[in-house]
Each structure stands twice: as structure tokens, then as C-alpha cells.
Amino acid sequence: MTCSVIAVSSSLSAASSSTRMASMRPVRELDVVVVGAGFSGLYLLHRLRGQGLSVVVEKGDGVGGTWYWNRYPGARCDVESPYYSYSFSPELEQEWEWTERYPTQPEILRYLNHVADRFDLRRDIALDTEVVSAVYDEPSARWTVTTRSTVDGSEQTVSARYCVMATGCLSAGRVPDLEGLADFTGEVYHTGSWPHEGVDFSGKRVAVIGTGSSGIQSIPEIARHAEHLTVFQRTPNFSVPARNQPLDPQEWARIKAEYPRLRELARQTPTGLPFPPSTASALETAPEEQRKVMEEHWTLGGFRLGQCFSDLAVSEEANDVVAQYIRERIDEIVDDPAVAELLKPHDHPVGTKRICVDTDYYATFNRDNVTLVDVRPAPISKLTEHGLSTADREYEFDAIVFATGFDAMTGALTRIDITGTDGTTLAEKTPRT
């Protein structure tokens, strides 16, 4: 079998004419096309090459996937760095040095570039390349994949036996379809496609729309620089302190020495992390002991608070114990009782949405230059030339940040013209909500 794999990126547009043009261009014959060069794409390229297969395509001008594009202020992983890493190479585990408990975006990107170089993956990666279409041919049992250069717009056709979408479940950014989006004359950003040169908010009036994970991470950082920050919140989320800090050298040495055991333990847990969930029931634990357990997990930091009792996912009464504890902590942190109340989640149990991990998120709303706006009673109606309007008033801003998340799971796939058997497209088979 020939050694032919390519890694390519997903496209944000589709071209129905690409299949007709395919016969007019030279066709490159490969075994596998891997779309995306993030964590999964890089590992798959390494694994396939070992089996005599290869090739990857990436839209960006560098590897990293999510950690290439998401460079917003405060971008950081909520999984502890020793475990947010590859386990396929003991040598890699020992040679790489993480510096913080929770790695920042720049550090993760450096790690992925190190992996690409260490395992000589770049020679099979086509950067600055997006996938326009992927069409399956039943008689030949092969995929015809059309790619386009993001530099000069030139197209290439690749024929492969296998097409693997390593595009990630959170890679297709979503901006609300608001009236007047093109009318706003200020700066507009989305956390999922942040300018690589960074953004200076000094002296500016800034709006952040959204309080999911990227909003919770970026809001404290933006508030430190903006003249004034207005946060537009629809749904409050449960968030717990990260307690981030530099990795203790002795603890890091212990983890390195125990990596085989820790990796095996991680494979046996629901979260894929070497922290087995509690076996203690909240309902069978006395109130004073409940409080002690939750205090320990809150002080420890990270989203392990959501695993402190075994029945949180099966008992609403048990879940309410932890939910109410987090609400009480919000009251302790936020000075204004009305703002604290707005920040408390009441419409979903702990863990039914991924718990966010933050640094000074709730405390940020004690700053004089930060305002919280609840858009449930007064939704955002449109963008204007100088800002935005809600149902009850207008606001003026110099910059608007959309922390509005992604077209999750299928978004990166349906934005490519993927056609299967009988000429049926994936978009036609994907329910839209």
C-alpha cells in the first residue's frame, strides 16, 4: 500500500460546480484525506502514516485547529495540562514541559507545533487549503475531494479511498442573524476567529454578547483594558474557580513518573481524566458533611465539583444541593445583590451544560467599568451604526465581541458540499434546529 495521506481544512463555503470542474484538473491519488490539523488530525496523520497511509489538509496557515483560531483574551483549556496531551508517545510525555495547571492557548499551540515537528508531520500537511466538496463515487468506492487555496484561490482535486473529517465539534463559529449587522461602523470580533495580532481595547466602549465558556474566559481580561465593558447575557452558566497556578515542579515530576498508571486510570473514568467520580450520595450525606465536601472541591478548583457526589446526574434533589452551593458562592463574591441574582443559573441542573472554569469571572462584575445586561426580558433587536438596540433602549460601542459559540457538531460538516450515495448531500440529511 502506498504511503499517501493528506490533511486539509474544512471550508466555510460550498461550490456546487466543483464536481463538474474536477474532470478538468489533474487528480492526485491518495489513500486517505484527513480534513483538519488539530489534535485529532495530527494524531490520525501520525497513526495512518505508521500503517502506510497518509495526508492532511488545514485551512489555517499553521497547525493547531481550535488552538490556532481561538486566540481571544483569556483563552485557556479547562482540562489540566498534563492530561490535555497525547498519550501515544512516552518520549513525548517526558520531554514536554507544561508550565501551568491549566494551559493557555499560546502554550497549547506551541505544544502542537512541537508535535508536528517532532514526528515530521508537516511534509504531509497542506496548509492554507480549504475543502470545497467531497463526493463519493460508488462504482470506484472512492472520494473525490476538491480543495481551494486560501492564498490564491486555485483549486485541486484529490481522489482518496477514505475521507476523514477531523474538523472538530466546535470549529464553525456562529454569529447571530441580527438585523443591521453590516451597519455597525465599529470593530466586530468573534471569539472563535480572533485576530492573530491581538486587539487593543484600551479606552474603548466594548460589548460582549454571550456568557458561555469563551465569554466567561474573555470578559475578565477585556474588562481590565476597556474603558467600559457591557456584557449581554441571555443564559447564566454555572462556573467554578480554576485555581490556576504554575505547575509545582515536584508534582509535575510525580505525574511524569506515573503517566502510565494515570493514563490507564483515565481510560476507566467517564470524563477521560484520572479522577474517579465520587461514590458518595448527596442524599445519604449529612448537610454538614455535604458542605465540607463541596468546600474541598471549590477550594481545589476545576470542574470536579460536578463529580463530588454520585447522584448529581440522576437526582434533581441531589443536584440542587450543589446548584444552591454555587449560587451561595456567587452571592459571596458579587457585591450587588441584583447583579448576583442575574448571574445565578436557575433553568438547568449542574452538569447538563458543561460547567465553566474561570479566573475572577464573578468578581469582574464588581468593577466600576462593567455592566451586566439581561437580554431575556429585553432581547437584542438589531445592530445600529454606533452600537445595538434591545427591546427597551439603545447602546453605543466602539467594539462588539460575539462570544456566541459555534454551529456545534455538524456545522463544520454541513458547510462543505459533502455528497454520498445516490447523490444525497449530508446537508439534506442533517436536521436543522
What letters, b where the CB count within 10 A reaches 16 and e where it falls short, cover 269-300?
Answer: eeeebbbebbeeebeebeeeebeebbeebbee
Report whether pLDDT(6) > 70. Answer: no
Domains and CATH numbers, the chain: 5-63+121-171+410-429 (3.50.50.60), 187-237+359-402 (3.50.50.60)
Q: In the prediction, which pLDDT does 350 show? A: 95
Q: In the prediction, which pLDDT does 433 show? A: 56
Alpha helices in 74-194 (DSSP H): 90-95, 105-118
Q: Give the pLDDT band (50/70/90) at residue 51.
A: confident
Nearest-angstrom CA–CA distance, 198 and 210? 20
Annotate 260-318 with DSSP letters as a single string: HHHHHHHTTSTTSSS-PPP---STTS-HHHHHHHHHHHHHH-SGGGGGSSTTTTT-HHH
Mean per-residue pLDDT of the chain:
91
Q: Which residue has the cell 467554578?
A: 240
Nearest-angstrom CA–CA distance, 119 and 268? 28
Q: Does the global pTM surpass 0.95?
A: no
Q: In the prediction, which pLDDT does 94 show? A: 97
Determine phi and psi for 184, rounding to 5 degrees: -65, 130
Alpha helices in 316-432 (DSSP H): 316-333, 337-343, 361-364, 411-414, 426-429
What tens digit of pLDDT does each residue of 172-224 get? 888 999 999 999 999 999 999 999 999 999 999 999 999 999 999 999 999 99
Report whether pLDDT(18) > 90. Answer: no
Of 99, 5, 15, nearest to 58 (Cα)?
Answer: 5
What tens digit of pLDDT does each residue of 308-355 get? 999 999 999 999 999 999 999 999 999 999 999 999 999 999 999 989
Report whether pLDDT(7) > 60. Answer: no
Q: Which amino acid is at 35?
A: V
Determine phi and psi for 170, rounding to 5 degrees: -130, 70
What letters, b where the CB count within 10 A reaches 16 and e where it falls short, cover 153-175?
Answer: eebbbbbbbebbbbbbebbbbee
What letters, b where the CB count within 10 A reaches 16 and e where it falls short, cover 176-204?
Answer: eebeeeeebebebbbbbbbeeeebebeeb
> 3-state class of 156 per DSSP?
strand
What tens digit of pLDDT does each residue of 377-402 get? 999 999 999 999 999 999 999 999 99
Report whether pLDDT(253) > 80. Answer: yes
Cα torsion 64, 70, 71, 77: sign: negative
For the segment 62-76, the average pLDDT, to the nearest whole number, is 95
Q: Give the pLDDT band (50/70/90) at residue 160.
A: very high
Q: In the prediction, which pLDDT does 25 show? A: 53
Lowest-confidence segment of 22-31, 42-51, 312-321 by average pLDDT: 22-31
What letters, b where the CB count within 10 A reaches 16 and e where it falls short, cover 7-28?
Answer: bbbbbeebbeebbeebeeeeeb
Percent of the chain with pLDDT over 90: 80
CB 405 within 8 Å of CB 66: no
Annotate 118-143 with DSSP letters as a single string: HTT-GGGEEEEEEEEEEEEETTTTEE
Tell me the three cell numbers of residue 106: 499560546
Lowest-confidence segment of 46-60, 152-166, 217-231, 317-331 by average pLDDT: 46-60
For the segment 70-85, the average pLDDT, to the nearest whole number, is 96
Q: Which amino acid is at 432?
A: R
